[in-house]
Amino acid sequence: MATQVRATEIPSTKFQPQPAPGSVTEPAGPKSADEKHFNTLALAGVSFGLISCVFQALGVMPILGIVFSTLGLVSFDDRTEKMRWMAGFGLGLSILITMLSFR
């Protein structure tokens, strides 16, 4: 007697990976304030803005503050990052120092 081996049918839908057994998936909702992290570009922008207040003779500092603060505002994600005000404050401060240095 020969046994027949049946081929299993593959469903026509696309394969979607399933989570491993016992793993925990994160909810898609917003994270709490404790789980959010700082936007590094915004932090760099406000740092260069504050440094440019002290070292006004170095003309590159406010320009770097403008660049990093703008990048921080553009790349900001409300769901995963906090402290958006740092990018806005760094941008405003850097623009103000740049305008004062050219007068």
Give the span between the Cα atoms of 81 and 64, in whole angstroms. Answer: 22
Per-residue pLDDT 10s for the chain (103 aa) are 566 656 565 555 566 666 677 666 655 555 665 788 888 999 999 999 999 888 877 778 899 999 999 999 999 998 898 889 999 999 999 999 988 887 7
Q: Which helix (H) or strand (E) holds 94?
A: helix 84-101
- Asked if 49 contacts 93 with a C-beta cutoff of 8 angstroms, the reply is yes
Can you spell out the DSSP letters for 33-56?
TTT-EE-HHHHHHHHHHHHHHH-T
pTM beyond 0.85: the answer is: no
Give the span between the Cα atoms of 83 and 86, in whole angstroms. Answer: 6
Domain residue ranges of the chain, discontinuous segments joined by +? 37-101
Count Cβ atoms below 10 Å from residue 24 Cβ, excluding itself. 5
